[in-house]
Amino acid sequence: MRPLRVINVNQNLKIAVSTLSVALGEIFQVIIVFAIFLFVFGIICVNYFKGSFFRCVLNTGINPGDFQNE
């Protein structure tokens, strides 16, 4: 409870805390928009690649079947 008393006594600190509380709502909206953008981008990438990274194909002339699982 002591920090709340300090905020109430100091006028500049009170202004800073009230500004921060107003800004948090705006920052939260930006974070939501960014999360939606990443979600849509992830869906597009998953549909585009569709398991193309399932197997590694090397063009070195070595057959992957030549190696035994250890």
Pair of tokens at residue 18:
């009230």
Place of tokens 């979600």: 39
Tens digit of pLDDT for each residue in 33-63? Answer: 999 999 999 999 988 888 776 666 666 666 6
- Residue among 25, 26, 8 nearest 17 (CA): 8
Residue of higher predicted confidence among 57 and 10: 10
Token pair, residue 47, equals 């549909």
The whole model's pTM is what?
A: 0.54
- What would the mean pLDDT of 1-5 be, rounded to a whole number? 77
Q: Where are the domains of the chain?
A: 2-51
48 to 15, 37, 39, 69: CA distances (angstroms): 49, 16, 14, 31
